[in-house]
Structure 1
Amino acid sequence: MLQIKDLSVVRGQGRQAHHVHLPQLELRPGEVMAVTGESGCGKSTLLEAIGLLLRPDQVGQYHLSDAGQQRDIAMLLNNNQQAELANIRARQIGFVLQNGGLLPFLNVLDNIRLPSQLLASVPDKAMLSRVIDSLKLGPLLTRYPSQLSFGERQRTAFARAIMHRPALVLADEPTAALDPSNAQQLFSLFIDLVRHEGMMALVVCHDWPLVQRFSLPCLIARPDQTAASQAEPPQQAQGGTWFVL
């Protein structure tokens, strides 16, 4: 389970500063939630903070449970325990970047197995086979990223993000460059895999019809003043964007 309360990030300084607030978020295994909002509102910033790539300026609660073990990540953040945070980021969080982020000198199979190798663990053969079959990657395993279409690269990126069985998968605009048909297919494959494997996922998506088609719950970006009636702002937070259900 993922539980976050009163998370706040500030990008920039002075009058140019932009505040990103998350009053509350709860996800359970098998759940996929979309993050929507206008360009530049802070969706990627929110994902970076949740993914422990960016230290929040404030966090009241951040618990992430995996295999029955609950980690108090807010305490680690507040105490700046970087080594432990890096370990959690590597083992319990999977990332899918907008451009795929595949290593060009590794073929598809080696890209998929990379997280497990970095963790010095042996990839689960049954899991590997299931992911490859589900994402229709079998004919592509020996190809390199430069030989793939964008959709094929994104399917490979999804496989890599979940191969080490993270508790939480974060995807930043994974279908942004795809046509509607391929975007729908990729979304469907991803959602099915996350649910089948009992993971949790947050997916930044600008395509509102696509989100509606799959009836996903949403964190919606709203200006501070429109969200103020729904939750109390974190102390010392002024302006910016709120992400509310």
Structure 2
Amino acid sequence: MTQPEAIRHLLNAVAQGDISPDSALDKLKYFNYEPVGDFAHIDHHRTLRTGFPEVIWGLGKTPEQIAQIMAAMRQKTPVVMATRIEPDVYEELRSHVPDLHYYPMARICTVRDSEANPLDLQPTHPGLISILSAGTSDLPVAEEAAVTAELCGFQVKRLWDVGVAGIHRLLNQRDAIADADVLIVVAGMEGALPSVVAGLADCPVIAVPTSIGYGASFNGLAALLAMLNSCAAGVGVVNIDNGFGAAMLAGKILRTAERLSKNAIAD
């Protein structure tokens, strides 16, 4: 059965009362994808299933491939985002996508609705994600997390250069830490910052190891292992340099809280 035939069969079942509209919606979540050339299949229904649209991983793709994927996605997605876009790739992309916006520190490109200001990222979901970076060298990963969260509709607070080498800088941010609903903590070297932050916070802490550090840091492996071995409770760890993944996890935590709150009100 082809995809259009399957959808028609499902709609007929709803019309005949054989299946409820809610059950049909659950099934539709897994139907729709669109081929782009001979190199990609866009998952247009990912938002229905996961709450967030598909995002383009830029590394390894040519500017032409990225531009074609963006052209297809923007027909159905309010915000199209591509990660790990280096400046030279962005310059090439601009010739294909004139209204492209670039966040150089985060290495993220985005195309939004024609009526939306690309710099006006107003929150559409409740909750505050606060992001801490241990040092200035960690900022590309921290900014990837921050921009991703903002493009997904969350309020973000940035707390940069508050690493444990000068612990007073972190302690000066105790009120900001207490105000957060989810904390993303980005650190390289020995990766100690998430443990300290988790000892001060009553909300989930997402630790992001970075590949910053001298030779024995093994490109972030030392920080990753330190975070996995955290003595503080309530710390989750994503992969090395994965600011994007940390932001998506924080967003899912807040969306779950939002859904639970709505269900409680409905009951």
Identify whether the pair has TM-score above 0.5, normalized to the shorter chain.
Answer: no
Q: Greater relative contact order (Cα 8 A, min sep 6): structure 1 or 2?
A: 1
Name the structure where strand makes up a greater proportion of residues.
1
- TM-score, normalised to structure 1, is 0.32
